């Protein structure tokens, strides 16, 4: 992390600490929904010629890979 990224991260953490617990939870819900949309819409953008069925199968394969990781 370069110095500019470190400074931005520090400001971000300070902003999070000023939030109420309810606001933090809302932030977490919003970030989860954003990640969900990226997961769903990313392949659609990357593979515009795939059918809905093929996009669905691709998403299922990606989820399967993600859930079967050995930690």
Strand (E) or helix (H) holding 26: helix 21-46
At residue 54, the pLDDT reads 95
Residues in CB range of 9: below 8 A, 6 or more apart: 1
- Verdict on whether the full-model pTM lies above 0.75: no
- Which one is predicted more confidently, 66 or 14? 14
Q: What is the pLDDT of residues 24-66, one digit of tens each?
A: 999 999 999 999 898 888 899 999 999 999 999 998 888 888 7
Strand (E) or helix (H) holding 33: helix 21-46
Q: Is the pLDDT of residue 71 over 90?
A: no
Number of domains, the chain:
1
Residue 13: band (very low, low, confident or very high) from pLDDT cuts 50, 70, 90? very high
Domain of residue 12 covers 3-67
């Amino acid at each position: 992390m370069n110095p500019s990224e470190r400074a931005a991260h520090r400001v971000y953490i300070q902003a999070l600490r000023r939030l109420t617990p309810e606001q933090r939870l809302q932030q977490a819900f919003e970030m989860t929904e954003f990640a969900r949309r990226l997961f769903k819409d990313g392949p659609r953008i990357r593979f515009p010629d795939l059918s809905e069925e093929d996009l669905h199968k691709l998403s299922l394969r990606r989820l399967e890979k993600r859930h079967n990781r050995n930690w």
